[in-house]
Structure 1
Amino acid sequence: MDIHMSGTEHIPTSGGALIAVNHVSYVDYVMGGLPGVERGRYTRFMAKKEIFDHGVGGPLMRSFGHLEVDRESGAASMLTAVKALREGELVGIFPEATISQSFLIKELKSGAVRIAADAGVPLIPVVVWGTQRILAKGRKLDLSRHQRIDIEVGEPMHPSGDDPAAETVALRTRMQEMLERCILAAPASERPEGAWWLPQQYGGSAPTIEEAAAAYAEERRRRAQARAAKRRT
């Protein structure tokens, strides 16, 4: 892979910090942790309970010390993250909560700014781009050589928690600006017209944010139906 990384100086060499990473691929846990590695740090990512329940994924996530998030017990999950941060660890969070199939920055959950504020640590935005070409939702694994990956680390933010909604909007705006820089940093040959991994506004054919949201809502509806049917049997 051809990895281009900038802004790693914003990752502190000691002390707690919350790393907010966009989510376009199943390998973002790996790439989102590289800035920390560059600074001699390890990032423990928050991940949904379903991954930990998986027969293969669960043991792997536990072996790396990642943090389980139970959406039905959000407060307890936040406390676990706050504790790790107060103990001086780097914690990673995907504030979009799910993979963005539009490859743009979705609406963010407010958990990132609230956790950082509660722990009294900086919130550091990180944007990864190109990982969707390796393993995107609904796509096969592609380990072709020389695929370009861009990772930008932004300046730390210091949420107060007084207005989580406004601070979350500010985080999303920052991440949107970073994402655009990453997309446009690649040469034109890496952005072919109609490419499935490119958002439409950059000449690609990925779903719009609205189309992706509708598809995700339908997927959740089908899953809920399947769970209900299973309970009835």
Structure 2
Amino acid sequence: MQEPRGWAFGFAVLVIKPLLLAATRRDWEGGEKLPESGGFVVALNHISHIDPLTAAHLVYDHGRRPRYLAKSGLFDNPALGFFMRQAGQIPVKRDTRDAVGAYAAAVDAVRAGQCVVVYPEATITRDPDLWPMRGKSGAARIALETGAPIFPVGQWGAQEILPPYTRKPHLWPRHRVAMRVGDAVDLDDLRDRPLTPEVVAEATERIMAAITAQVEVLRGRSAPAERYDIAVHGDRFKKRKA
């Protein structure tokens, strides 16, 4: 492990990693592409509430300590919030002024040589077949602002352990969790341009296309030509969450 863990992250590894090893069969590809040092961004699809743990397992076992942009609601519990902050996680209040502070914290973390993990979809996919949705701009903005590489990761299998918006995990039999790390997304032609909405949108589309390509390899299928967009197609989980 190249990076210092801190007590909170070390405790989480001690407790969570054995559970993941017992409940999953790992099928990882391309993890050696993640840099051994220096700041970078990992961007991946979101299919289950448990996949931040499986993604952290991938990053950690390749020598880096992941920092997540996490929903602020997770920090509302004083004990959990204290623990997550001690572990270096970054709370995000979406659609508020505080989201700007979270973005700045993520940029500072990457510039300080850390690994920041972002879900560009910002929530579990609503696509009926769990394909990646239309992405939001955060991951692209962090990569463009810092000049750091951004690595697309496709994942599949975590939804079998904990299906979207359910509470009861299926831990047995052990489920295959496949994760595939792609080459860094090519944003070189965009980095010296002003961060206009058009530039950010183009970078976001490239990131989502790269993530989707990894998922297609893992699933052995082609994704729909049009990405699911909650603003257009609606939130099919809204009633379930209410």
Q: Same fold (TM over 0.5)?
A: yes
* SS of equivalent to 1:128: strand
Q: In the alignment, which residue of structure 2 is the partner of 1:145?
A: 173
Preserved CA contact (<8 Å) 1:121 1:158: no
Partner of 1:85: 110
The residue correspondences of 1:36-185 to structure 2 (distance < 5 A) are 36-54=59-77, 57-71=80-94, 72-73=96-97, 74-102=99-127, 103-139=130-166, 140-159=168-187, 160-161=190-191, 162=193, 163-184=199-220
Conservation of the 8 A alpha-carbon contact between 1:31 and 1:128: no
Partner of 1:214: 234
Superposed displacement of residue 145, structure 1:
2.7
Q: CA deviation at 1:62?
A: 2.8
Is 1:23–1:98's contact at 8 Å kept on the other side of the alignment?
yes
Identity of aligned residues (%): 30
SS in 2 for 1:106: coil
Q: Which amino acid aligns with 1:4?
A: D
Aligned residues: 203
SS class of match (2:234): helix
Identify unmatched segments of 5+ residues in structure 2: 1-23, 194-198
How far residue 60 of structure 1 moved from its aligned partner, in angstroms, is: 4.5
Cα RMSD over matched residues?
2.8
Distance 1:3 1:11 in 2: 17
Deviation readout 1:168-196 (Å, 9 max, x if unpaired): 111111111111111129xxxxxxxxxxx
1:15–1:88 contact (8 Å) kept in structure 2: yes
* 1:2 partner SS: strand
- Residue in structure 2 matching 1:21, options 44, 50, 54: 44
Gaps of 5+ in 1: 186-198, 202-207, 224-233
Matched residue, 1:3 = 26
Question: CA separation of 1:60/1:216 partners in 2, compared to 1, >3 Å: closer, same or farther?
Answer: farther
Matching residue's letter, 2:102: S
